[in-house]
Amino acid sequence: MRNRIFLTLVVAALGVVCPAPAPVHGTSAAPSFQGRTTTAACDVEAYVVDPDPKGLNVRETSGAGGRVVAVIPRDEDGTVLHLIASAPNGWVQIDRAETISGTVVFEKKGWVSGNMLGTSTRGYGTKGVKLRGEAKAGKIVGTIPPEAEVRVAGCAGENIKIRYRNLVGWLDRESQCPNPVTLCN
């Protein structure tokens, strides 16, 4: 009886420490962070699409209420950011920003809104790239044309969550082109 109680407590504790990911229902791409409050680690890049001439605000915490700790200046040619984490609210943590010409303009940790970042799909001829419902080999929920600019909605591992027209889903590393001045072919 003591072993059964101990096992029940261990299983309950594991459920708190390692919650199961939310399932994706139907054919639409439901957010993979549904029901989660923790961040997901990632290692991807995206470029700034924020139209503000003053630059992109970098915040101490995820969300518009976070204190601004830096501003990444707007660069005419573009600025590429390294994303290291993603929060369920669509904000991403960065640790580096570099202009296309190679000037490092930010090199510490901070949070930016994914709405202000973009990536392009790679140019695979006329077929486009597959958009998946989950970060790793999920069901295909749509196809995005080659060389299309998409907005960032999050990231996990080497996958980036994007929004394109009425689609939301995940692109694997091979489908991403995080450079605004090249086609990444």
Identify the burial level of 101 via C-beta atoms within 10 angstroms of its C-beta, where 0-12 means exposed, 13-18 middle and 19 or more buried. exposed
* Contact call for residues 12 and 25 (beta carbons, < 8 A): no
* Contact call for residues 180 and 78 (beta carbons, < 8 A): yes
**In this predicted structure, what is the pLDDT of residue 37?**
58
**In this predicted structure, what is the pLDDT of residue 125?**
66
Q: pLDDT band for position 44 (50/70/90)?
A: very high
Ranges 14-18, 80-84, 146-150: which has the least confidence: 14-18
| pTM metric for this prediction | 0.77
Percent of the chain whose predicted confidence (pLDDT) is above 70 = 77
Which residue in the block uniquely carries the two structure tokens 């001829």? 125
- Predicted confidence (pLDDT) per residue in 49-60, tens digit: 999 999 999 999
- Predicted confidence (pLDDT) per residue in 13-29, tens digit: 334 333 333 333 333 33
Q: What is the DSSP string of 90-152?
A: SEEEEEEEEETTS-EEE-S-EEEEGGGEEEEE---TTS-EEEESSTTTPPEEEEE-TT-EEEE
Letter string b/e over residues 45-69, b meaning 16 or more CB atoms within 10 A of that residue's CB: bbbbbbeeeebbbbbeebeeebeee
**In this predicted structure, what is the pLDDT of residue 1?**
34
